[in-house]
Amino acid sequence: MLTSPIDLTPAPPQGKGNLAWRWDIERRAVRSVLLSAIILTAWALRLWLLDWKSLWLDEANMLSVVAQGQAALWAGRSELYHPPLFYWLAEQGLPLGQGEYALRFPSVLFGTLSIPLAYGLMRAWFGTPSAVTAALLTALSPLLIWYSQEFRPYALLAALGLLSTYAFTRLCLRPNVGWWAIVALTALAGTYLHYFFFLLAPLQLLVWIAHYAVRRTRVRAALLGLLAWGAALAGYWPWLQTRAFAAFLALPVNANNYIAQLARQRLNLPAFLIDQTYLLVLLGVIAAIIGVAVMYAFLRTMHRRSLWPRLQTGNWYAYLSLIVFLFVILLWALPRGYTAKRQLLVLAPYVLLAFAWGWPWQRNRRWVLLVAATASLLATVYVVAWTPKEQWREAAAYVGAQAAPGDIVLLSPRSMIIPYDYYDEHPAPRIGLESTSGFSNVPNALGASKRFWMVTTPFDTDPRLGLEQWLAANARLLDTRHLYRLDVRLYEYRPHRA
């Protein structure tokens, strides 16, 4: 066990009549009851209002990709920007139902599984008191709960990442074929699940450095870990040859992709910065190599001078770490930056583990843990009960209730047809438009119809507002309704005549 990296486990209270002894978490019975209560709480929070929110675009798109068949999926033809594993798993679960609850329920299972995995990993690193804290923070995390309520791969990604790192930790402490095989298999499954699972490779290198700095592992363990990831890459080779992987590699330098356009539009980033993405990545790799040496020297110095317990028990550290934690929870709870949050979710549990090290259970930091847990719970209530996803259910219901015979539904951008179709119970002609060029096709799409519904997202990437300008010149607004991340408007077509 890597104990922080010094032993911070307190001596158990003496005397069986002592109340503290009876509730000492080093006792298996007490530990089991407490961990069970935490897991049940996590389960309940992840099930709470599971089907209240509409499926949003990416969730509905899962069904569209699965419908194209596994052959196209594994050949990289139906989904260009994500590996195929979760789509295959989704297809296996479709016979259980295609409502929001049934589709999202597997993510609840995977998200709940993260709690015992976080506990086991933290116990292997720093002992039982910090492990219980890690389980509690993971159970109440608003970010992990948000993605445990999505029909997407991110809850499984976090759980699989924890399992992989736990297996690698065991490989460092006691190398054997079993742990090596688990590291290799989880790396293979994780990379077929999401490209950002590769972020765990440098993180596991840091785990080895931390163990090596306190002389708890050898170079052999690092070589075995490298071989495990190499074996995973060998199994990943067929996917590297697909058109989908080539599209993903081109994504960072494609200035016309959605994320790049949104970054330039919202953050005013210069276009040349997108073009130099790979140069920035290379510089990042060089900086990471230098950082590895610096990290080893830092950990070695901290261990030799016994500075870890002084850091952990200092009052300034308690106050500072709590302030940083509250700021992190605030960022996780705010309905902003979802693209960055979900891409980096595989690393989110380790942020919580870092805080758990400083707030071990049944120590003199109980008040810190109480404040942190309360803040996490309040943020979770806000995220689950007050923060909706894109309100496609409400949009389809509103159009269906108000539409007249002959009305046409136009959706921009074109991909918005997918979630709208999922909820539309009153099928009407609908056409998808690209906001940057599709407005010129509106007259042909309308035909003889004089009324049309326009469903758009305020997060569309149309820097010149071409569609809005066309609507202002050629249509009269009759009705509008603003929903979360959606605008529903009814227009009467009145073509502009020069």
Show the 3-state SS of 85-137: HHHHHHHHHHHHCCCHHHHHHHHHHHHHHHHHHHHHHHHHHHCHHHHHHHHHH
Q: Is residue 14 part of a domain?
A: no
What total number of domains does the chain contain?
Answer: 2
Angle 455-457-462 (CA atoms, 0-180°, nearest 5)? 110
**Mean pLDDT for all residues in the chain:** 87
Out of 386, 409, 439, a domain closes at: 386
Q: What type of residue sits at position 345?
A: L
- Domain co-membership, 324 together with 181: yes
Closest by Cα among 1, 2, 4, 94 to 308: 4
Q: What DSSP assignment string belongs to 165-189?
A: HHHHHHHHHS--HHHHHHHHHHHHH
Of the CA atoms within 13 Å of residue 370, those in its CB half-sphere come to 6
Residues 298 and 234 in one domain: yes
* Domain's final residue, options 343, 362, 386: 386
> Is 289 among the domain residues?
yes
- Claim to verify: residue 407 and residue 369 sit in the same structural domain: no
Predicted confidence at residue 461, as pLDDT, reads 55
Among 144-153, 262-271, 443-452, 458-467, which stretch is predicted with the lowest mean pLDDT?
262-271
- What tokens appear for 217 in the block? 């592992």
* 322 inside domain: yes
Do 291 and 344 sit in the same domain of this protein? yes
Alpha carbons 457 and 243: distance in angstroms, whole number? 29
Whether the predicted pLDDT of 264 surpasses 60:
no
Rounded to 5 degrees, what are φ and ψ at 478? -105, -35
Q: What number is the average pLDDT over the span 133-139? A: 97
Distance CA 394, CA 386 (A): 16
- CB < 8 Å & 24+ apart, contacts of 169-172: 169/2, 169/121, 169/124, 169/125, 169/207, 169/211, 170/124, 171/221, 171/224, 171/225, 171/228, 172/207, 172/208, 172/211, 172/216, 172/217, 172/221, 172/225
What whole-number percentage of the chain has pLDDT above 90?
A: 64
Q: Which residues are bridge partners to 252 per DSSP?
A: none
Residues 448 and 357 in one domain: no
In a shared domain, residues 372 and 411: no
* Residue 348 shares a structural domain with residue 431: no
Give the model confidence (pLDDT) of 239-257 as tens digits: 999 999 998 887 765 655 5
- CA-closest candidate to residue 486, choices 51, 53, 56: 56
Contacts of 312 (CB under 8 A, 6+ apart): 4, 8, 357, 358
Q: Looking at the structure, tell me whether residues 302 and 182 fall in a common domain.
A: yes
Centre a 10 Å sphere on the Cβ of residue 272 and count the other Cβ atoms it contains. Answer: 8
User: How many Å apart are CA 39 and CA 199, to the nearest integer?
Assistant: 27
In tens, the pLDDT along 106-120 reads 999 999 999 999 999
* Statement: residue 259 has pLDDT above 90: no
Mean pLDDT check: name the lowest of 116-125, 154-163, 269-278, 467-476. Answer: 269-278
In a domain, 11, yes or no: no
My answer on whether omega of the bond before 12 falls inside 30° of 0, hence cis, is no
CA distance 344 to 326: 19
Whether 7 maps to a domain, the answer reads no
Query: Which sign does the torsion angle of CA 384, 43, 84, 103 carry?
Result: negative
Query: For the segment 28-42, what is each residue's pLDDT rounded down to a tens digit?
Result: 888 999 999 999 999
d(CA 209, CA 400): 60
Strand-pairing partners, residue 93, are none
pLDDT of residue 4: 43
What pLDDT, in 10s, does the model give residues 296-347?
A: 898 889 888 888 888 888 889 999 999 999 999 999 999 988 988 999 999 9
- C-alpha angle with apex 252: 250 to 253, nearest 5 degrees? 70
Q: Are residues 466 and 487 in the same domain?
A: yes
Residue 149 forms part of a structural domain: yes
Q: Does residue 6 lie within any of the structural domains?
A: no
Q: Alpha helix locations (H) across 382-496?
A: 392-402, 417-423, 442-446, 466-474
Q: What is the pLDDT of residues 359-410, one digit of tens each?
A: 998 667 789 999 999 999 999 999 999 999 999 999 999 999 999 988 999 9
Domain membership flag for residue 5: no
- As a whole number of angstroms, the distance between CA 249 and CA 380 comes to 35
- For residue 386, what is the DSSP state? I
Write the CA distances from 359 to 29, 119, 312, 320, 347, integer angstroms. Answer: 22, 14, 8, 12, 20
Helix (H) or strand (E) holding 409: strand 408-412
The answer to whether residues 228 and 336 belong to one domain is: yes
Position 360: which residue type?
P
Asked if residue 166 lies in contact with residue 143, where contact means CB atoms within 8 angstroms, the answer is: no
Question: Reading across the β-sheet that carries 408-412, which strands appear in turn?
Answer: 430-432, 408-412, 451-456, 486-493, 475-483
**Residue 271 binned pLDDT confidence (cut-offs 50, 70, 90):** low
Q: How many helices and strands (H and E) does the chain possess?
A: 25, 5
Q: Is residue 432 located within the same domain as residue 324?
A: no
Range of the domain at 450: 392-493
Whether residue 316 is found in the same domain as residue 431? no
Q: Which residue among 354, 386, 418 closes a domain?
A: 386
